[in-house]
């Protein structure tokens, strides 16, 4: 006789609320060590800097109390040097990120056509990115030394005069931007090459059938499809450049004068050279707000265009 089975017995048991809660608890248990480490490494310095920004802590009087509210923020914002450093930071970030993206996109497009020797080119590109910014600054400082640097020696051998690359107020800024682009460009190249490799071939085949040439394919197919990957590269590099500190410190110490004094170096100078840790923390807090604001504006522009 056939065995009768009810619909209830064949129905698979659905996980109940208790099972879902256990799943969530298991996920949080696995994620908690990493989240705790992030909270300690990232959260504690930010909170402590926020406390310092509203305190009267200085190196001459190392106590938090009494808290002074917004007095440190007002003192920093009323300083013309702060606004000069903020404008220089934004200008430096836009120039370096634009240079890194334009040069990196050109190199990525060329590497996308290379097949046999691509690992060799990748190995060469990783070298500047793997170097510490302090080491890069020291190397380029020796290369650009006015009297003994190899760059000026080569210029003299070609019949050109020596150039004080880091001593001129105008040249120092552009020299530092060039060095930054030279080092950080590799990161943009690697991201864009990965994005180009993931693009589908069907749109290009359809465009070729319609008679579209290389520049048209690049402008109407490659750039629109590469936009999400390019946006990630630009945002990461924009954040890195806004908080740059190593190169100005090693190359110029913010000089000559204040020609290369970006906002992070201004905060350092106010905190440790001016002995006002509280005002330095307020300047660092302002830098954090600038980074967050520019990141939000960039993503808003990207979403609007999408």
Judge if 32 and 103 occupy the same domain: no
CB contact at 8 A, 146 and 257: no
Judge if 82 and 187 occupy the same domain: yes
Q: Which pLDDT value is given to residue 8?
A: 45
Judge if 113 and 240 occupy the same domain: yes
Q: Give a yes or no: residue 29 inside a domain.
A: yes
CB contact at 8 A, 167 and 256: yes
Convert the pLDDT of each residue in 234-277 to its tens digit. Answer: 888 988 998 899 999 999 999 898 899 999 999 999 999 888 89
- Structural domain span for residue 114: 71-305
Q: What is the DSSP string of 214-236?
A: HHHHIIIIIHHHHHHHHHHHHHH
The count of structural domains within the chain is 2
* Range of weakest confidence among 19-23, 145-149, 202-206, 252-256: 19-23
pLDDT-based confidence at residue 173 (cuts at 50, 70, 90)? very high
Q: Give a yes or no: residue 10 inside a domain.
A: no
Q: Does pLDDT of 299 surpass 80?
A: no
Distance of CA 110 to the CA centre of its chain: 24
Q: Which of 250, 37, 63 is nearest to 139 (CA)?
A: 250
Q: Which pLDDT value is given to residue 172?
A: 94
Half-sphere exposure of 144 (CA within 13 A, CB side): 21
CB contact at 8 A, 82 and 283: yes
Judge if 93 and 231 occupy the same domain: yes
Judge if 110 and 172 occupy the same domain: yes
Question: Domain of 182: which CATH number?
Answer: 1.10.3720.10
Which range of 9-13, 138-142, 235-239 scores highest in mean pLDDT? It is 138-142
Convert the pLDDT of each residue in 22-55 to its tens digit. Answer: 767 887 888 888 888 888 888 888 888 899 999 9
Judge if 261 and 296 occupy the same domain: yes
Question: What is the rounded CA–CA span in Å between residue 13 and residue 233?
Answer: 46
């Amino acid at each position: 006789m056939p065995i009768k089975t009810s619909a209830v017995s064949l129905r698979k048991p659905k996980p109940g609320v208790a099972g879902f809660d256990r799943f969530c608890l298991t996920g949080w248990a696995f994620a908690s060590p990493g989240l705790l480490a992030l909270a300690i490494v990232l959260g504690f310095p930010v909170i402590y800097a926020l406390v310092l920004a509203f305190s009267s802590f200085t190196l001459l009087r190392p106590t938090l109390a009494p808290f002074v509210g917004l007095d440190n923020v007002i003192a920093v914002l009323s300083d013309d040097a702060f606004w000069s450093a903020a404008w220089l930071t934004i200008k430096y970030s836009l120039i370096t990120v634009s240079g890194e993206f334009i040069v990196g996109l050109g190199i990525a497009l060329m590497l996308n056509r290379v097949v046999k020797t691509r690992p060799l080119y990748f190995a060469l590109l990783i070298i500047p990115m793997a170097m510490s910014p302090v080491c890069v600054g020291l190397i380029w400082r020796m290369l650009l030394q006015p009297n003994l640097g190899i760059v000026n020696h080569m210029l003299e051998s070609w019949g050109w005069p020596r150039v004080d690359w880091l001593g001129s107020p105008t040249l120092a800024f552009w020299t530092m931007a060039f060095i930054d682009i030279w080092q950080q460009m590799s990161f943009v190249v690697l991201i864009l090459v990965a994005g180009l490799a993931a693009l589908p071939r069907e749109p290009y085949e359809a465009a070729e059938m319609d008679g579209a040439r290389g520049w048209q394919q690049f402008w109407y197919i490659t750039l629109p499809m590469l936009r999400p990957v390019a946006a990630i590269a630009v945002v990461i590099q924009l954040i890195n450049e806004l908080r740059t500190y190593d190169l100005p410190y090693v190359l110029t110490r913010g000089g000559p004068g204040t020609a290369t004094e970006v906002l992070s170096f201004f905060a350092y100078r106010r905190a440790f050279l001016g002995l006002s840790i509280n005002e330095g923390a307020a300047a660092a807090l302002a830098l954090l707000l600038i980074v967050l604001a520019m990141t939000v504006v960039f993503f808003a522009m990207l979403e609007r265009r999408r």
